[in-house]
């Protein structure tokens, strides 16, 4: 079986100096491709360097994470232009996060709008981070309905009804990760009502490790554990889970 991790920060300091070893473990586990979402200027060079060392396996993206939006957000956003010469596979990770702070909510909305316009102009999917901000993001999507909106809602934790509303506003997938394996995780019920051809697998490494690794550093090699739980919950063979989610990722990211 072959898997794709559609959201992995393997360039994060948590992996230093064994980023390459982590990629090797993932490939050995059948996770043959990994999407690397961007965060901000502090880690961007490390992300591209890792991708350059693993062509055809690690695929870099470009974007400004909502928790990196502060008083200097416009400068951070303009810094993206210096990396447009690189081959990138999505605009992300972008979105809104009202969990950590609401100090720059309007700036987060504006940055999201600008980056959705960038994704449309470059004909790329968007990787959306949404934490305690669903309605605010939906409002931005409505304002951007003239764009070709497509991509994935990373670490999806919403309801079936929210997914249906999102689907009316663009061509969206949902990213399912280690939270699926946790006891009493609401997403465990939601995935039973989401078509498999709308689901992507992800780790969000080094965060949100699946059971039995919860509390430890997450990595892309753990994707099969998430796939196994999705298989259990939906009653689908794990081979079908692997094949369909891999095909979904290849189609969305053009890999």
36 and 61 Cβ atoms separated by less than 8 Å: yes
Give the Cα separation of 40 and 164 in Å (integer): 31
171 DSSP β-pair partners = 150
Q: Enumerate the H helices of 105-237 as residue ranges.
A: 105-122, 134-143, 160-167, 187-190, 223-234
Q: What is the CATH number of the domain that holds 158?
A: 3.20.20.140
| pLDDT computed for residue 170 by the predictor | 97
Residues 130, 31, 123, 82, CA torsion sign: positive
pLDDT, one tens digit per residue, over 124-177 is 999 999 999 999 999 999 999 999 999 999 999 999 999 999 999 999 999 999
Give the Cα separation of 61 and 222 in Å (integer): 21
Number of domains observed in the structure of the chain: 1
Residues 13, 19, 21, 26, CA torsion sign: positive
Answer yes or no: is pLDDT of 247 > 90. Answer: yes
pLDDT, one tens digit per residue, over 186-228 is 999 999 999 999 999 999 999 999 999 999 999 999 999 999 9
| pLDDT computed for residue 128 by the predictor | 98
pLDDT, one tens digit per residue, over 211-222 is 999 999 999 999
pLDDT, one tens digit per residue, over 30-55 is 999 999 999 999 999 999 999 999 99
Give the Cα separation of 121 and 178 in Å (integer): 33
| Residue ranges making up the domain that contains 134 | 3-253
| pLDDT computed for residue 29 by the predictor | 98
| pLDDT computed for residue 131 by the predictor | 95
Instruction: Count how many Cα atoms sit within 13 Å of the Cα of residue 160 in the half-sphere of its side chain.
Output: 9
Answer yes or no: is pLDDT of 100 > 90. Answer: no
pLDDT, one tens digit per residue, over 224-243 is 999 999 999 999 999 999 99
The model's pTM is 0.97
Answer yes or no: is pLDDT of 101 > 90. Answer: no
Q: What are the C-alpha distances in Å from 254 to residues 56, 87, 89, 208?
A: 12, 12, 7, 26
């Amino acid at each position: 079986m072959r898997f794709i991790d559609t959201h992995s920060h393997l360039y994060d300091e948590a992996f230093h100096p064994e980023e390459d070893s982590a990629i090797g473990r993932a490939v050995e586990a059948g996770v043959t491709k990994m999407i690397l979402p961007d965060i901000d200027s502090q880690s961007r060079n490390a992300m591209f360097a890792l991708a350059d060392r693993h062509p055809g396996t690690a695929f870099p993206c470009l974007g400004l994470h909502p928790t990196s939006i502060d008083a200097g957000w416009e400068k951070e956003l303009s810094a993206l232009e210096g990396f447009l010469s690189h081959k990138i596979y999505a605009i992300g990770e972008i979105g809104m996060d009202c969990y950590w702070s609401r100090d720059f909510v309007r700036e987060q909305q504006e940055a999201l709008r600008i980056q959705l316009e960038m994704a449309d102009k470059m004909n790329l999917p968007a990787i959306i981070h949404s934490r305690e901000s669903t309605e605010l993001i939906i409002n931005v999507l409505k304002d951007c309905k003239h764009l070709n909106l497509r991509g994935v809602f990373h670490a999806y934790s919403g309801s079936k009804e929210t997914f249906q509303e999102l689907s009316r506003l663009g061509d969206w997938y949902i990213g399912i990760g280690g939270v699926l394996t946790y006891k009493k995780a609401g997403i465990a019920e939601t995935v039973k009502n989401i078509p498999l051809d709308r689901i992507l697998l992800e780790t969000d490494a080094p965060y949100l490790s699946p059971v039995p690794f919860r509390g430890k550093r997450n990595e892309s090699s753990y994707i099969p554990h998430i796939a196994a739980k999705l298989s259990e919950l939906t009653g689908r063979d794990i081979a079908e889970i692997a094949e369909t989610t891999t095909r979904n990722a290849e189609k969305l990211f053009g890999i």
